Amino acid sequence: MPNRKVVKFFFDVISPYSYFGFEGITRHRSVWKTPIQMKPFYFAGVVKHSENPGLPLRVPIKEKYMHKDLLFSAQYWGIPFRLPKDYTNMMLNTSSIVPQRILVASQLRDNALMEDVARALWHRFYAYGKPIFTKSQVAEVLRDLHVKNSEELLMMSDSAEVKNILRENTDEAIGNGCFGAPWMHITDNHGKVLQTVFGSDRLPQVADFLAEPFKGPMREKKQNA
Ligand SMILES: N[C@@H](CCC(=O)N[C@@H](CS)C(=O)NCC(=O)O)C(=O)O
């Protein structure tokens, strides 16, 4: 049995760079043998715990650059993207706890469902500028995806089990030095963290570390047009 590594990908739908990393890593699933574990976490918890004062949106010159870089990166990944109205204010003053808990509840049912929901949330926000942060907003996404028993999923998202998993995922990242998103752990097959990685733009290095191919944006795999 080869000494297989595992990648854990921590993300939050409030983080646009998580969207790019999420697309990049899930597209590479078709060409990598390395197992990929998707881990919804709570970005605000990370920022608070790491006392990160340097969020680009809080620094005007970085905010200006980030707005351009988001469009540039979305184009690279082939993702329909425009900045929603009042973007900075919304990003800095909105909690993603509701959608993140719903993602955890979805993942408990089925990882593929969770990925469909995450992708659809980002698509709604960045392709159409519609918010994704309340239960009723996420419910619309579940309805559009024809998710079965979506009411049950929404109820489950308030359960202690779901809250604990989201907290555990967040703590797992924080415990390994996380300060932003997306965040990755590359572990050995016993779960020992060999490398921590920040940013969607580090996927070529992640691939190299895994001895896997990096195939660029694989735009032919895009799911939302
Ligand atoms: N260069 C990274 C940027 C990632 C990034 O800026 N992520 C934001 C959240 S969307 C963040 O966590 N920022 C924290 C920081 O820069 O300290 C990428 O391309 O993914």
Domain ranges of the chain: 6-53+96-210
Using the mean position of ligand 1's atoms as its centre, give its distance from the Cα of residue 11 in Å.
11
Our answer on whether the CB atom of 206 is closer than 6 Å to any ligand 1 atom is: no
pLDDT of residue 28: 98
pLDDT band with cut points at 50, 70 and 90 for residue 1: low
Span 190-223, pLDDT tens digits: 999 999 999 999 999 999 999 999 999 999 988 8
Residue 225: what pLDDT? 61
ipTM for this model: 0.99
pLDDT band at 3 (very low <50, low <70, confident <90, very high): low
The torsion angles phi and psi of 46, rounded to 5 degrees, stand at -65, -45
Task: Give per-residue pLDDT as tens, 157-195.
Answer: 999 999 999 999 999 999 999 999 999 999 999 999 999
- Give catalytic status of residue 15 as yes or no: yes
**CA end-to-end distance (rounded Å), the chain:** 40
Tokens of 55: 């969020």
pLDDT for the residue 222: 83
CA distance 118 to 13: 7
Q: Is the CB of 10 under 6 A from ligand 1?
A: no
CATH topology of domain 6-53+96-210: Glutaredoxin (3.40.30)
Query: Rg of the Cα trace of the chain?
Result: 17
Ligand 1 binding pocket includes 76 (Cβ within 6 Å) = no
Q: Which amino acid, 60?
A: P
Q: What is the pLDDT of residue 2?
A: 63
Instruction: State whether the beta carbon of 78 lies less than 6 angstroms from ligand 1.
Output: no
Catalytic-role residue among 15, 96, 150, 157: 15
pLDDT in tens, 58-107: 889 999 999 999 999 999 999 999 999 999 988 889 999 999 999 999 99
* Burial label, 102 (beta-carbon count in 10 A; 0-12, 13-18, 19+): buried
Cα-to-centroid distance, 17 and ligand 1 (Å): 6
pTM for this one?
Answer: 0.97
Q: Which atom of ligand 1 is nearest to the CA of 46?
A: 12
Q: What is the pLDDT of residue 23?
A: 98
Task: Give the distance (Å) from ligand 1 centre to CA of residue 35.
Answer: 24
| Gap between the Cα atoms of 49 and 177, Å rounded | 10
Average pLDDT, the chain: 95
Model pLDDT, residue 57: 82
Mean pLDDT of 28-55: 93
54 C-beta closer than 6 A to ligand 1: yes
Distance CA 61, CA 69 (A): 12
The DSSP string of the chain is: -----EEEEEE-TT-HHHHHHHHHHHHHTTT--S-EEEEE--HHHHHHHHT----GGGSHHHHHHHHHHHHHHHHHHT----PPTTHHHHHHH---HHHHHHHHHHHHH-HHHHHHHHHHHHHHHHHH-----SHHHHHHHHHHTT-TTHHHHHHHTTSHHHHHHHHHHHHHHHTTT--SSSEEEEE-TT--EEEEEE-GGGHHHHHHHHT----TT-GGG----
- Dist. CA 192–CA 186, nearest whole Å: 8
Task: Report CA(151)–ligand 1 centroid distance (Å).
Answer: 33
Q: Stretch 43-71: mean pLDDT, rounded? A: 90
Q: Average pLDDT, stretch 10-21?
A: 98
